[in-house]
Amino acid sequence: MTPAQDWALAVARYRVPTRLTTRARRAGFTVMTIGGVLRVTPDSTGRPRNLTRSDFERSVPLLGHAGRGEVNDASRNSSYVEAILLDIRP
C-alpha cells in the first residue's frame, strides 16, 4: 500500500472520532478527520494538533525502516502515524 492510499483510508476511517494508543509509550489519543487534515488530540494534554497529508506521507515510508531519530525528524507526529497505520491496515 502506498502512503497516499494509507492517507485516503485514514481520512475515510476517522470521520468518526476514534481512540487509539501509541505503540511505544501506550499513550492514548483521539483522531478524527476535520476538513482535509487528521486532528490528533493526546489524552495527556487535551490540546489538538493537525496532522497534514504531507506530514503523514513523509513519515509512512520511514516507519519500521529507519532509526527513531530519522522518523522523528520527518514528523513530530510519527508515534500517532504509526498507531494510525496499525489501526487501518488489515
* Tens-place pLDDT, residues 28-78: 999 999 999 999 999 999 999 999 999 899 888 877 654 455 445 455 788
CB atoms within 10 A of CB 80: 24
Count of the separate structural domains present in the chain: 1
* 18: containing domain: 3-88
Amino acid 12: pLDDT = 96
* Tens-place pLDDT, residues 7-29: 999 999 999 999 999 988 899 99
C-alpha cell at 28: 492514548
Length of the chain: 90
Specify the pTM. Answer: 0.85
Amino acid 66: pLDDT = 46
Residues pairing with 51 in the sheet: 38
Amino acid 73: pLDDT = 45
